[in-house]
């Protein structure tokens, strides 16, 4: 069996043979950032080369600066968020790497990234997770082909990342206990009736209005007492377990009564405490799902499922280090038909043998 170093070396050589131009899929936890940096180092043979790294969020940028220090390689790097592509698209670079390219917004960010690609000789669109639709969109806009296709299943088969199982925890919305809803105008209703009301609004509306009602329903389904109770039952039964919990927002995160890290956190002390295993339970809000390593982590709790399988794979990838046995991914989902459709869509690229309903 090949080692992780050997697999990384093969991917690096493949990218160089393909003249550093194309789409790269390198599994979560395969060392993608190191692969990309070592590719530039081997190809350029010069630390003065100009490298543009485009990234979606600060976690990804931090993973690059950390990796540069770890391998002691410091080329002339310009960092830019996807949201700021317009500011750099007319500048010249020796190399361009678009990391987590699956998160490029198709309306404006992807066309700008494609413009950069067409202007530069060496340009890589990299990710650990691509859906078929995302790949099709990138290929259509850029004209590029996939030059590396090393999936999470490949990495599991090679033994460089841990295998995993996905456990689906279904729950029913409460149809008995009245709950107060509304901000200015307030009313009492059960969770079942409120969900039916919001679903009817989605069904009977169009365009932007439909999108607004769909967002309202998503916020509702990710904040019910039924969900909170189901998740807290799991936490109580596994109170000595080490786990990450992904929640929809701060208000929901507080209901689980465990340390929390999100964009409002004053510093990353609680994140570092979890990484160093000073604490063993951490709630994440819209941060920490990519570009961050969590040692000795076997359990992931996902409490706000949506239809995006790429985001799901990034989250479950946090538990795929080989320092534990098979990872356990726990997804909490209501029995509402629309949410089960989201679940099925998000699990589309997951081997069905790994999915278990509990």
- Can you give the pLDDT at residue 263? 76
- Can you give the pLDDT at residue 265? 78
- Can you give the pLDDT at residue 287? 80
Domain map (residue ranges) of the chain: 4-157, 164-172+226-357, 179-221
> Which letter, b or e, does each residue of 170-202 get, where b requires 16 or more Cβ atoms within 10 Å of its Cβ?
bbebeeeeeeebeeeeeeeeebbebbeebbebb
The separation between CA 197 and the C-alpha centre of its own chain, rounded to angstroms, equals 31
- Can you give the pLDDT at residue 266? 76
Distance CA 197, CA 167 (A): 30
Distance CA 101, CA 97 (A): 9
- Can you give the pLDDT at residue 292? 84
Residue by residue, pLDDT tens for the chain (358 residues) are 789 999 999 999 999 999 999 999 999 989 999 999 999 999 998 778 999 999 998 889 999 999 999 999 999 999 999 999 999 989 999 999 999 999 999 889 999 999 999 999 999 999 999 999 999 999 999 999 999 999 999 999 999 999 999 999 999 999 999 999 988 899 999 999 999 999 999 999 999 999 999 999 999 999 999 999 999 999 999 999 999 999 999 999 999 999 999 877 778 899 999 999 999 999 999 887 777 889 999 999 999 998 888 889 889 889 888 888 889 999 999 999 999 999 999 998 898 999 999 9
Residue 341 makes CB contacts below 8 A (sequence gap 6+) with: 307
Task: Give phi and psi for 165, each to the nearest 5.
Answer: -125, 145
For the domain covering 4-157, report its CATH number. 3.40.50.300
Task: Give phi and psi for 69, each to the nearest 5.
Answer: -70, -40
- Can you give the pLDDT at residue 1? 72
Measured over the CA atoms of residue 279, residue 283, residue 285 and residue 287, the dihedral's sign is positive
Q: Write the CA distances from 250 to 153, 259, 260, integer angstroms.
A: 33, 11, 8
- Can you give the pLDDT at residue 289? 74
CATH 3.40.30.10: does it fit domain 164-172+226-357? no
Same fold, 4-157 and 164-172+226-357: yes
Q: Are 207 and 309 in contact (CB under 8 A)?
A: no
- Can you give the pLDDT at residue 324? 85
The pTM for the full model equals 0.89
Distance CA 19, CA 48 (A): 19
Q: How many CA atoms lie within 13 A of 240 on its CB side?
A: 0
Residue 328 makes CB contacts below 8 A (sequence gap 6+) with: 164, 165, 167, 298, 299, 300, 319
Q: Which residues pair with 98 in a beta bridge?
A: 54, 125
């Amino acid at each position: 069996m090949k080692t992780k170093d050997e697999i990384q070396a093969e991917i690096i050589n493949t990218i160089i043979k393909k003249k550093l131009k194309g789409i790269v899929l390198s599994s979560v936890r395969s060392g993608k950032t190191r692969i990309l940096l070592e590719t530039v180092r081997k190809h350029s043979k010069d630390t003065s080369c100009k490298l543009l790294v485009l990234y979606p969020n600060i976690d990804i940028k931090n993973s690059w600066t950390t990796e540069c220090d770890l391998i002691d390689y410091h080329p002339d790097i310009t960092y830019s968020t996807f949201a700021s592509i317009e500011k750099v698209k007319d500048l010249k670079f020796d190399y361009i790497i678009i990391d987590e390219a699956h998160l490029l917004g198709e309306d404006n960010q992807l066309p700008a990234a494609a413009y950069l690609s067409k202007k530069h000789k060496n340009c890589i669109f990299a990710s650990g997770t691509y859906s078929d639709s995302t790949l099709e969109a990138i290929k259509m806009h850029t004209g590029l082909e996939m030059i590396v296709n090393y999936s999470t299943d490949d990495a599991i088969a090679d033994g460089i990342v841990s295998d995993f199982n996905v456990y689906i925890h279904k729950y029913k919305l409460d149809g008995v206990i009245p709950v107060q809803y509304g901000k200015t105008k307030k009313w009492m209703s059960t969770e079942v009736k409120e969900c039916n009301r919001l679903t009817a609004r989605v069904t009977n509306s169009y365009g932007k209005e439909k999108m607004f009602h769909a967002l309202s329903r998503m916020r509702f389904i990710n904040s019910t007492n039924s969900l909170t109770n189901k998740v807290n039952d799991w936490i109580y039964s596994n109170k000595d377990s080490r786990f990450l919990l992904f929640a929809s927002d701060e208000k929901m995160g507080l209901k689980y009564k465990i340390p929390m890290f999100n964009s409002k956190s004053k510093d990353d002390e609680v994140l570092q405490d979890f990484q160093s295993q000073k604490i063993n339970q951490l709630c994440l809000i819209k941060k920490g799902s990519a570009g961050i390593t969590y040692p000795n982590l076997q359990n992931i709790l996902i409490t706000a499922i949506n239809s995006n399988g790429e985001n799901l794979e990034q989250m479950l990838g946090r538990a795929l280090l080989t320092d534990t046995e098979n990872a356990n991914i726990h997804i909490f989902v209501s029995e509402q038909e629309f949410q089960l459709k989201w679940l099925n869509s998000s699990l589309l690229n997951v081997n069905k043998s790994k999915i278990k309903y509990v």
